[in-house]
Amino acid sequence: MADDMTAPLLSDSESSADAQPTCPSSQTAVILGSGDFSRSLAVRLVGCGVRVIVGTRCVNRIPSGLFPDAVELKSQEEAASQVDCVVFMAMFPEHYSSLLGLRSTLAGKVLVDVSNAAETNTRGPSNAERLAELFPDCLVVKGFNTVSAWDLQTGAHDGSKQVSICSDSANAKRKVVQMAQHMGFHPVDMGGLSASREIEVAPLRLFPSWSGPVLVTFLLFFFFYGYGFLRGVLLPFLAQGHNVFYRLALDVVNESLPAVALATLALVYLPGLFAASLQLWRGTKYRRFPSWLDKWMQCRKELGLLSFLCAALHGVFSICAPLRRLTQHKSINAAYKQVEAGVEEPWDEVGVWRSDLYLLCGVLGLGVLSLLAITSLPSVGNSLNWREFTFVQSGLGYLALTLSIMHTLFFGWDFAFHAKAYSFYMPPSYVVAAALPCAVLVCRCLLLLPFISTRLARIRRGWESRHNCPVSQRHPVVANGV
Amino acid sequence: MADDMTAPLLSDSESSADAQPTCPSSQTAVILGSGDFSRSLAVRLVGCGVRVIVGTRCVNRIPSGLFPDAVELKSQEEAASQVDCVVFMAMFPEHYSSLLGLRSTLAGKVLVDVSNAAETNTRGPSNAERLAELFPDCLVVKGFNTVSAWDLQTGAHDGSKQVSICSDSANAKRKVVQMAQHMGFHPVDMGGLSASREIEVAPLRLFPSWSGPVLVTFLLFFFFYGYGFLRGVLLPFLAQGHNVFYRLALDVVNESLPAVALATLALVYLPGLFAASLQLWRGTKYRRFPSWLDKWMQCRKELGLLSFLCAALHGVFSICAPLRRLTQHKSINAAYKQVEAGVEEPWDEVGVWRSDLYLLCGVLGLGVLSLLAITSLPSVGNSLNWREFTFVQSGLGYLALTLSIMHTLFFGWDFAFHAKAYSFYMPPSYVVAAALPCAVLVCRCLLLLPFISTRLARIRRGWESRHNCPVSQRHPVVANGV
Amino acid sequence: MADDMTAPLLSDSESSADAQPTCPSSQTAVILGSGDFSRSLAVRLVGCGVRVIVGTRCVNRIPSGLFPDAVELKSQEEAASQVDCVVFMAMFPEHYSSLLGLRSTLAGKVLVDVSNAAETNTRGPSNAERLAELFPDCLVVKGFNTVSAWDLQTGAHDGSKQVSICSDSANAKRKVVQMAQHMGFHPVDMGGLSASREIEVAPLRLFPSWSGPVLVTFLLFFFFYGYGFLRGVLLPFLAQGHNVFYRLALDVVNESLPAVALATLALVYLPGLFAASLQLWRGTKYRRFPSWLDKWMQCRKELGLLSFLCAALHGVFSICAPLRRLTQHKSINAAYKQVEAGVEEPWDEVGVWRSDLYLLCGVLGLGVLSLLAITSLPSVGNSLNWREFTFVQSGLGYLALTLSIMHTLFFGWDFAFHAKAYSFYMPPSYVVAAALPCAVLVCRCLLLLPFISTRLARIRRGWESRHNCPVSQRHPVVANGV
């Protein structure tokens, strides 16, 4: 980019420059292979002003118009003989050996392996390492495999902008890094070629950050579903012959969902409390957390979103209640009984307040949670500064937790304390579910006590208690990172 | 960028460098015109370290503070006489001719036409072509018209990052491409100046990718609305004098919406089945699909989102039912009749299960669809790798389709097979609507049969059946693109 | 970037190049401090191919693996003595003075202050200004403080891509600007070091663009809540001893929310009307709007989203109605009374139509508003061209306003004109709230009248009425900006 800029611009003699400017070496790319990836790569490179030569076995089989006009289609031999270029291997790794005849032609060149692993748990050398074995005189660079043909054609987008690159040759790596930057990607240096296995496997991973939280949520759901089934369906049937199996489809689900939502929301804020306690106890922020805590803290966003999902489903299922045949049946029979009794239903002031208050808290809690979910969107979250992010995630998060707990408490009202609520000596799901969130909220309030919060703030600003700092380093104050 | 970097840094003599560094030619931009676009362009260019000269007819009419301080305001003549610069024409194309007096001053310079077309279906030369006719000695480049003043001021964002550029002069184009990259945009080379018409029209297009899917959705809606009106309102009125015109406002709408949602969702997955069948039949993936199939496949995201929109509206309308006067009326009269009959309403086990199950499937189906909709957001979708994208779009998509069909079937229950449901020999809307999705689901299951899916996987990995490959190219295996 | 590209590539002698290429000065970064920010900065710089030296007081206290392998850990003295580098001060500003011993070593170097202000309303010099005072022989540049450690590690994302930079040394600023660009950020030149205070405070701001709209929305809510409380709860209690305080929790809230939503939506479109009137009256678009109007117009997106939030909450609260004990009570007693009266409830055609129509308008209005909200997401909005943006914001916006007004009118029906509705001479909330939106809609329609809209279109395309243009500049037509 630098070179082709200076040279023709300083001369600025249009007549010669328009007649195909002489591109320097770094601006020529050879692509071996003519599939989808090759095509997309060619489109992108041509769009960035790079000279592109596509090497294919059967030049005449390529339909015209498949590649941009600026692309030069050549035989693989001709393409490979281009000097001073970066060679992209746009073919399946099992076909690499078909190029062994070009070994001497390619010697000294930079080969970019763009392939993905076939399976997640492969053994043996990676594709790039095998390529390096096949072409020992070439400089093999791994990269671009995380980029899809789609990304290449539509231009860089935020999330997929990163391109992991590794190579044993620093010089070859730099060439490819520069080409990636030129194409609008953000190259990330992953080190030597031994890192290629990890890079190759990356595109096969299925939501690696979600597997833990999803598992936890499912386990919680099965626990609460099982608990609800036992307490509300099976035991009544066994003990009293009371057949309420129809509750399995919706009622037990809708009792479990809010319990799961509450528990997961508490799990979002629990690790932060652990971390704060650990820092307070150690008197420094410079020691690493245990790895389980680190992992847990990295799952908070996912746990929060799953909590929101459960809460939203609970909301929708609850709102659907009047559409259920069961509700209509109950409502008609309630009216029937009232008529039989011969009196209007008496005014139930407490019942009215209770239902209104728990609906209010529930709706507001879900509303706050949905604001949190919106700020979890990459494009929204990235536009927040640190203080805004903290305000949303911590401030609004604890507000949502508080509202959810109030929703549960108003729902429970005094029934939660009646002996009748504890059928078979088992408390209702919502009592079980509310225990952990209440504990989290109480601990959080403890951390807000002045003498604790001051100490914590000092620690987080880099202060260390005596026993952490060797005497020799105590004066002057160590310059700590921001 | 390259030049002003090397020069002052290598000397590194701060005293001279601070006294206005001598910028090389490529880093000077002249903007003719002083409107909104000019202002925003100047702000951005100055922010990128480019020297900016704004040429305007009435320098003294520009309020101070309108442009950044670093901008040099000059008369148009003075600005145009700047050597070695890129000249942006930030004025309406109808005013180009007012600059004819500067023809000789501008000769040999790069003029960037940033204007939009006035109408979509213009004839005659594009603005850029007219500019090239007016200034035959200049190097006209088309570009930046797709960038709004807003984009310029707030910095590059993902979606609007692409800047289409075309010119007949390769050298001039390269200068502008470099300036665009320097400003943080992703320039896309569109070829010669004849492409300028298409570039000029682009900002006038109104959701070009949505027009087809929206039309299809509206047509389906009108079909189902008409069908519902005929079957549920008009024929009962004509045949039995039964006045149910009140059903037009909400009931018929809410019968049509789920039918449309189901049909559109089936249309999302139908083209994929066609494509797979075609590949199986042809025995290769290297032949292009017919263009109607290509277009259809490119509409899948939009069709899916419209399906989600209809399903969501259906959900909301259904949930609103208890707020309707009609529902309240029916509920009161049901209770009244029960009292008149003198017995409690009997327990309806099947009805309870049925309503709970179709609500469960409906809510879960809508929930899965909303996850799909969220991953359609650019910032979310871009952060998925290919496998995750496939899992979401195909896996979750078919899950949503299955749940929607189950929702319909549970809703239909055995009533769907009663003669009574076929009033006037017309099946209910949901039976009509469910036919296509059921067919899609069955075909999809067929494709999962081992011997079919294996063959398809081989074809998609580049294998070709005999009759597609000329004998001469069969050994060794052709290196196919990834 | 330019330099290390040309040098080794032109020689292309792999043997020597692989043995640690000699990086030019601009590509070396020294980071003083070893905290979180230092670590993240090092990771990013190394990933961009920059040579990174971290200077820390206690090299042996840094756990291995904390920094990437490529980072050179040295003592602060050694690190500071590196020639030709950019020095990042990754420490708390209160520790700057601990480096005074390195004053002579650092002389002539570029120091980058990356710190944030401690409080929003600080007095005295900014951190960067204090740094410049402490090291008068250094070239202090302010920047990167708006970038979080997270942004650095995950690569640039759209929103946080901008990096505000200021310095009194143009040369130093350019070095840092180039490094920021190299790291994938979009540097914005904010001028001299006096701008550093504003830059330092930026990360402490809490949603500055939201404070006004949120305040307005809250005030409107309190007004309507107070009004509803007075009219529907307090006065009936005082005048008739009618105790309906239970309405405070949900009913009055749910009467206030739609009123606030309507009023805020009207406030979104009001400033546009003012602006158009002002342009019509002045006969030019080239005079600035009064600042209150400018500010108001910049709040429209936030007002619109708050309107959507209120409308959505109103929708959810309304849909929750059947879950309320109150509704169940009323429904049972309605049936009871019907039975007592001994007749079925008569068919209420008007009531059925009315409720269906206002539900239809309400749901559709909320649906359109939610489309508007979705296009407010940065990643969606950025992918729209200007015409699409206008269509969505203006076209769909007015559609939402119209539907909301119709929702209100259908809800009011003829009851709005009964004397009974005006208890205590106070009209119901929705009548009060609908007044402004109706006025906005009428004014908008006036602007669509042919002779007004034509004149407005001409003005917006740059035409000016006589009295705005001095005679000398009238021929030829002034070249106006696009």
Per-residue pLDDT, C18: 35
Q: Coil, helix or strand for B457? A: helix
Size of interface B-C (CB pairs under 8 A): 234
pLDDT score at A122: 67
Inter-chain CB proximity C388 and B246 less than 8 Å: no
Percent of chain B with pLDDT over 70: 88
pLDDT band at C26 (very low <50, low <70, confident <90, very high): very low
B6 contacts in C (CB within 8 Å)? Answer: 2-3
Q: Is the dihedral of CA B118, B124, B128, B131 positive or negative?
A: negative
Q: Could you tell me if the ipTM is greater than 0.85?
A: no
Mean pLDDT across chain C, nearest whole number? 83
DSSP state of A202: G
Out of A190-199, C122-131, C153-162, C434-443, the most confident range is C434-443
CB contact under 8 A, A461 and C61: no
Of A382, A391, A415, A471, which to mutate for an interface test with C (greatest number of C Cβ within 10 Å)? A382
Smallest Cβ–Cβ distance between B377 and the set C84, C186, C380 belongs to C380
Task: Characterize the bridge pairing of strands C28-32 and B186-189.
Answer: unpaired
Cβ–Cβ below 8 Å for C6 and A1: no
Mean pLDDT of C421-434: 85
- Which of B401, B433, B409, B422 is CA-nearest to residue B259? B433
Cβ-Cβ contacts under 8 Å, B349 against chain A: 246
The chain-wide mean pLDDT, for chain A, equals 83
Of the residues B86, B386, B477, the best mutation for testing chain A's interface (the one with the most A CB atoms within 10 Å of its CB) is: B386
Encode pLDDT of B184-205 as tens digits: 777 777 888 888 888 888 888 8
Q: B168-188: per-residue pLDDT in tens? A: 988 898 888 888 877 777 777
Q: Using the structure block, give the residue that is written with the tokens 């979600």.
A: A210
For chain B, list the contacting chains (3+ Cβ pairs, <8 Å): A, C
Q: Which of B33, B115, B323 sits opposite C480 (nearest CB)?
A: B33
Interface test with A, best of C157, C198, C248, C330 (most A CBs within 10 A): C157
B478 vs A5, A57, A160: nearest CB: A57
DSSP string, B180-214: HHHTT-EEEE--SGGGHHHHHHGGG---TTTHHHH
DSSP string, A306-319: HHHHHHHHHHHHHH
DSSP C64-92: TTSS-TTSEEEEHHHHHT-SS-EEEE-S-
Using CB atoms, pick whichever of C338, C345, C478 lies closest to residue B57.
C478
Overall pTM surpassing 0.80 (yes/no): yes
Chain C residue with Cα closest to A108: C14
Residues counted in chain B:
482
pLDDT over threshold 60, residue C22? no
CA–CA separation, C350 vs C262, rounded Å?
A: 25
Contacts of C49 in chain A (CB under 8 A): 174, 177, 189
Q: Is C156 in the A-facing interface, judged by CB distances under 8 Å?
A: yes
pLDDT over 50 (residue A401): yes
Binary contact (A478, C58; C-beta < 8 A): yes
Give yes or no for a cis peptide into A236 (omega within 30° of 0).
no
State the DSSP H helix or E strand holding residue B142, giving kind and residue range, or none if neither: strand B139-142
H or E stretch at A141: strand A139-142
For residue C35, give the chain A residue with the closest CA: A481
The 10 Å Cβ neighbour count of residue A264 is 27
Picking from B84, B381, B391, the nearest residue to A206 by CB comes out as B391
CB B345 to CB A329 under 8 A?
yes
Name the most confidently modeled range: A379-383, A462-466, A476-480, C409-413: C409-413
> Is B160 in CB contact (< 8 Å) with chain A?
no
Instruction: Give dist(CA B378, CA C378) in Å, integer.
Output: 10
What is the pLDDT at residue B251? 93
Q: Which residue of B90, B205, B246 is in closest CB contact with C385? A: B205
Q: Is the Cβ of A186 closer than 8 Å to some Cβ of chain C?
A: yes
CA angle A44, A49, A54 (to 5 degrees): 60
Least confident stretch, A155-169, B220-234, B264-278, C365-379? A155-169
Question: Which of B174, B322, B348 minimises the CB distance to A325?
Answer: B348
Better-scored residue on pLDDT, C69 or A366: A366
Judged by CB atoms closer than 8 Å, whether chains meet at A479 and C48 is answered as no
| pLDDT value, residue A426 | 87
Task: Please indicate whether residue B406 or residue C463 has the higher confidence score (pLDDT).
Answer: B406
Q: Which residues contact B239 (CB under 8 A, 6 or more apart)?
A: B424
User: In this complex, is the C-beta atom of A46 within 8 Å of any C-beta atom belonging to chain B?
Assistant: yes
B10 contacts on C by Cβ (under 8 Å):
24-25
A76 touching chain B per CB within 8 A: yes
A228 Cβ contact partners less than 8 Å away, ≥ 6 residues apart: A252, A255, A256, A429
Instruction: State whether residue C114 sits within 8 Å of chain A by CB.
Output: yes
Cα separation, B438 vs B263, whole angstroms: 10
What is the share, in percent, of chain B residues with pLDDT greater than 90? 40
Q: Report CB contact under 8 Å: C363, B320.
A: yes
Distance from the Cα of C277 to chain A's closest Cα (Å) equals 34
Number of CB pairs, chain A paired with chain B, less than 8 A apart? 234
In chain A, the domains with their CATH numbers are 28-204 (3.40.50.720), 210-461 (no CATH)
Confidence of residue A146 (pLDDT cuts 50, 70, 90): confident
pLDDT of residue A273: 94
Q: Which chain C residue has its CA at the smallest distance from B309's CA? A: C367
Name the residue with higher pLDDT: A181 or B311.
B311
Per-residue pLDDT reduced to its tens digit, C292-318: 998 999 899 999 999 999 999 999 999
CA dist A128 and A130 (Å) reads 5
Three-state DSSP state, A328 = helix
Task: Enter the DSSP assignment of A249.
Answer: T
Among residues 202-231 of chain C, which lie with CB inside 8 Å of chain B? none
- Residue B466 has what pLDDT? 66
Among A146-150, A234-238, B342-346, the range scoring the smallest mean pLDDT is A146-150
Region B9-17 average pLDDT: 33
Question: Does the structure show a pLDDT above 90 at C228?
Answer: yes
CA–CA separation, C10 vs C20, rounded Å? Answer: 16
**pLDDT of res. C449:** 92
Start-to-end Cα distance in chain A: 36
Average pLDDT of A75-95? Answer: 88
Grouping H, G, I as helix, E, B as strand and the rest as coil, residue A169 is coil
Q: Which chains are within 8 Å of A by 3+ CB pairs?
A: B, C
CB contact under 8 A, A480 and C326: no
* C113, pLDDT greater than 50: yes
B286 by Cβ neighbours in 10 Å (0-12 / 13-18 / 19+) ranks as buried
What's the mean per-residue pLDDT of chain B? 83
Report pLDDT for B112: 94
Higher pLDDT, A168 or B381: A168
- Verify whether the Cβ–Cβ distance B189 to A49 is below 8 Å: yes
Nearest-CB residue to B353 (from A35, A154, A246): A246
- Judged by CB atoms closer than 8 Å, whether chains meet at B322 and A323 is answered as yes
Name which of A23-27, B27-31, C114-118 the model is least confident about: A23-27
Interface test with A, best of B141, B163, B169, B171 (most A CBs within 10 A): B171
Predicted confidence at residue C257, as pLDDT, reads: 96
- pLDDT at B155 (0 to 100): 54
Tell me the mean pLDDT in the region A183-206: 82
Going by pLDDT thresholds of 50, 70 and 90, the confidence category of residue B154 is low
Task: Name the range with the highest mean pLDDT among A353-357, B477-481, C467-471.
Answer: A353-357
CB count in 10 Å sphere of residue B247: 20
pLDDT band per the 50, 70, 90 thresholds, residue C13 = very low
Q: Do C345 and B339 touch (CB under 8 A)?
A: no
